[in-house]
Homo-oligomer: A and B are copies of this chain.
Amino acid sequence: MAKNAIVGQSGGPTSVINSSLAGVFQGCVSRGADNVYGMLNGIQGLLNGETVNLSDILISNLEIELLKRTPSAFLGSCRYKLPHYEKDTSVYEKIFKILNEVEIEWFFYIGGNDSMDTICKLSDYAKEINSNIKFMGVPKTIDNDLMMTDHTPGYGSAAKYIGVVMKEIVRDATVYGTPYVTIVEIMGRNAGWLTAASALAKAEDCEGVDMLCLPEVPFDTDKFLTRTENLLKGQKSIVIAVSEGIKLPDGKYVCELSDDARFIDAFGHKNLTGTARYLSNLIIKKLGTKSRSVELSTLQRCAGHVTSRTDITEAYQVGGAAAKAAIEGHTGEMIALKRISNDPYQCTTQAHDIHKIANFEKKIPLEWLNRDCTDVLPIFHQYARPLIQAELTPIFINGLPQHIYLKNTD
């Protein structure tokens, strides 16, 4: 009987989720897995019988290298929430039937909060039915909101991208020497880690961002306008970084005040957008100052052309550590990153019980913020700066970065 592994990717894409895929793949192959299968579009594809044999696809080392440098999810993704098996076992029976047919011993799921919920339920159900399949979670999210891990693979590269473009936006915004308020909208539904990363732009060669609006802090429109007005007394160009997920004291998203709140996804999340545009219009109207909004949009999660080498390396490591742990018999765990030291920065991996991770969210500690919660304190810089260090240049072919993709995922 063959001993096979299967791996899936889930949730929002990142620049380094494929590096974790490479880590799982090579970790399983080097430990003697007969085949490493990939689920197309995560658990949803698995349920439809849509899998590929990665051992047939990732043949050369150059392909593995391209995989590590290709953003988005090579296997495709999904946002599929498993029901509780106490309520409905039919989906679980189907999944385990498929896994047993393909002789799967080890199951890996690379993703964020919702994906860890999937690992949690599948490993619990496996115990329930005395299945020997091992289920391991591999962390991935630009949001950096997973518990028990120092940070999440994906965050470092997104933070680096945000730092890079913030420096460029600040340079661009000062160019006319006229009063101008630039509002930059950054991803982050409940946690402000990404928006806080814009503070990294401040340096001897950059004035930096003038105000942060984080989702951890209830948004006060009057204070926001007063602060902006005060900033304009001291300088002409103001750059403000806002999380898409900032909320009014009554819990309503600021972007719901605009006309752009459109979708609710399978997990019941609202698709947030329009926060910066709303605030920019408000500034024009209330302060009579020129203003523009910039949405970093999907670019911040898929900018494979500017990644943190630290992040790519760690993403690979958590994948490899997950393979090692599963093959050694672990199940129902997620591989976390454990920081050993800040200076010099050193980080290793550690497995944690998935029950302590799934469905929790890690936010920025309020004590990491200044008194009026418009900036981060040095402790944040000490935390985040090591994560954006070093670069991994894409392989440029004919002027553009080379990617690798599966022609049949779309």
Residues on A lying within 8 angstroms of B by beta carbon are 13, 40-41, 45, 70-73, 76-79, 160, 163-165, 167-169, 171-177, 200-201, 203, 205-207, 235-237, 259-260, 262-263, 273, 277, 284, 290, 292, 294-295, 297-299, 301-306, 308, 385, 388-391, 393, 396-405, 409-410
Contact = CB atoms under 8 A, between A and B. Distances in A.
Given A398-B385, A399-B160, A410-B237, A168 B290 contact: no
Contacts of A402: 205
Chain A interface, >50% SS class: loop
A168 B399 contact: no
Contact of A167 (B45, B160, B297, B401): B401
28 contacts: A13-B175, A40-B177, A71-B172, A72-B174, A76-B175, A78-B176, A163-B399, A164-B400, A164-B401, A168-B304, A168-B305, A171-B304, A172-B302, A175-B409, A177-B410, A201-B400, A205-B402, A205-B403, A205-B404, A263-B290, A294-B297, A295-B295, A306-B306, A388-B400, A389-B398, A389-B399, A390-B399, A391-B396
A299 B293 CA distance: 12
A405 B163 contact: no
A200 B410 contact: no
Contacts of A263: 290
B13 A172 contact: yes
A210 to B, nearest CB: 12
A181 to B, nearest CB: 13
A237 to B, nearest CB: 6
> Could you say which of A70, A174, A201, A236 has the most chain B C-beta atoms within 10 Å of its C-beta?
A174
Contacts of A168: 71-72, 299, 302-305
**Smallest CB-CB A-B distances: 9 pairs:** A388-B399, A72-B171, A172-B302, A174-B410, A168-B302, A77-B175, A205-B403, A294-B297, A72-B172
Copy count, this protein chain: 2
Given A200-B399, A205-B405, A76 B177 contact: yes
Contact of A169 (B237, B302, B404): B302
A336 to B, nearest CB: 23
> Could you say which of A295, A302, A393 has the most chain B C-beta atoms within 10 Å of its C-beta?
A302
Nearest to A173: B298
B70 A302 contact: no
A169 to B, nearest CB: 6
A299 B294 contact: yes
B41 A403 contact: no
A244 to B, nearest CB: 13
A403 B302 CA distance: 24
A41 to B, nearest CB: 5
A186 to B, nearest CB: 13
Contacts of A235: 410
B76 A308 contact: no
Contact of A176 (B41, B167, B397): B41
Nearest to A408: B177
Contacts of A169: 298-299, 302
Nearest to A160: B399
A70 B400 CA distance: 21
Contacts of A73: 175
Contacts of A308: 399
A71 B301 CA distance: 23
A220 B171 CA distance: 38
Contacts of A405: 171, 174, 205-206
Given A172-B71, A172-B72, A405-B206, A167 B400 contact: yes
Nearest to A205: B403
B40 A410 contact: no
A238 to B, nearest CB: 10
Contacts of A41: 176-177
